[in-house]
Structure 1
Amino acid sequence: MPANLTPQYLEAERRFKSARTTEEKLESLVEMQATLPKHKGTEKMQADIRRRMAKLRNEQSRRPASRAGLIYRVDKEGAGQLALVGPPNSGKSALVRAVTHATPEVADYPFTTRQPQPGMMSFEDIQFQLVDLPPVHPEFHESWIYQIIRNADAVLLVVALDDPDLLEDLETTLGELDKAKVHLGHGTMPGVVGWLQKPTLLVGTKRDLGGAEDDLEILRELYGQRFDILALSAETGEGLELLSRAVFDLLDLVRVYTKAPSHKIEKTAPYVLRRGSHLLDLAALVHHDFLTQLKYARVWGHGKFEGQMVNRDYILGDKDVIELHR
């Protein structure tokens, strides 16, 4: 039986043959395995790929820590950094392309994304950084992926609503994160040192496809207590306008504007703080002298009369305008 190799497989095989490092070879083999047609005529090829992957992983495990593989780092930008996490072909890259100016590769085969792809998503007068990552999957286990997830401010857990194995793939992803001691969403973490809990929005993509609404209801029933859930379509744009607001709420932020005495109010370039922050938290961001020299402040905001005087313990609200006095 002819193998009928796909162009994607042949490209991955070309990269494997030209790869120099263990990590590059392993990445290529993972993609070769994912794009190789599965039938009797390719059984020997499948076995050979698995054998090579096992050999490379064994070499990795025996290698000294000082010779560890590629490590990617994404410096934070904007009001918050969100790692996009999910199983293969969940629509992470298409989502990033739809809401940012980034152009990650999008394909209908798994493991297209092999390195972090950051992009900036706007929300009114601030921006959030979205970081597209390779799938969290047993066959693509790179430590740097989990380092980026742990460093992010929050997570977008992305699943495809047309995935016939939706629940199984979602549980596989959550299981891999458990191995890395990362707990997503609400709920109680294991009482073990080293675990990290991340605010998480569960995003169901491909809402425009048949059967999506049924799968969405299942997600809400099974995971609604653990995650806030948003369904959307990067293809049609449905629901995309809700994503940035959902991220803002997920991060639990407030935007605060400052003005100098006797100047007009101009709501530009806000300071972004965690909800529940006090006036002194803002003062420290504006100038360190305010921490010791602040006498009082005036505030323009929701539910207050214009220019109301407030003390240092005042809790900041979203879109407050603050005038500091020393």
Structure 2
Amino acid sequence: MSLKQTLIVYETLDSAYVSGQDVKELFSAFPEVQVSVRTVEGEKGRTDFVKIVIPGTDGKSNGGNAPTFGIVGRLGGIGARPSRIGLVSDADGAVAAIAAALKLAEMKKRGDHLPGDVIVTTHICPDAPTKPHEPVDFMDSPVDILTMNQYEVTPEMEAILSIDTTKGNRVINHKGIAISPTVKEGYILRVSEDLLRIMEMVTGQLPVTFPITTQDITPYGNGLFHINSILQPAVATSAPVVGVAITAQSVVPGCGTGASHEIDIATAAKFAVEVAKEFTRRTCSFYSKEEFERLNTLYGPMKILQTMGRESAAQS
């Protein structure tokens, strides 16, 4: 279970004064876990990027060769003060990612070691701006997407789950969690059978997926509509990326307060933990390497979708 960890993290972040140092303090009882905090100033404010590394017994950080797994808590900000009081819906991705890290840290302390390293990243900003979006307003971020990817997507991550609140739309009409198809180097691949299996096991229900478009996997700032930033990590890595959406049956603005549901956040965290267990011991695959190679042979690389496109290249 990850509910206890979710409640601990939620209460820690639900403060006008919270910073990345408060998150680091949560892991003070786990000396093997490495936590770093970096404060970054942007045009619209400042935020604290947090990186948590839970080393594996055969992980690369210990000289081993087990796969390294990445969990990104993707969001604009955990709060929109002073226009909104309290934790906003958009904070759920950060809560889930940190709760997953806390659960993995406690598991390690109790003797349940994963073979590979797990790297968890997110950022903490209790006073982020908001921005207009259809059908409801989104949270904005004090820093741009390129900066977020710089600190949240690391070269060591060999596969990534990007957890993000995805309630401000009319295409996912389900309360709980849903996963996206795998995205890799500009290609939208089929949904991973292994992830569907793990999702069924974790939720005790039929798996739920959500649609994404080519626009959704291109970088922010190109003038195209995006469902949200859940798949923005995919523009900054060659590793396969899957979005884990925390969802609602109704349309909920990212800047709405009182809209977080602890059980749904805990489910996302638990799913991330179970995927981490299996991926680092090589029993879970995000995509078929053979199919991906065949796509590239037939149709060529699609890495241009990870860039700002031809218009940007022409200007440079």
Q: TM-score range by the shorter chain?
A: 0.3 to 0.5
Q: Larger Cα Rg: Structure 1 or Structure 2? A: 1
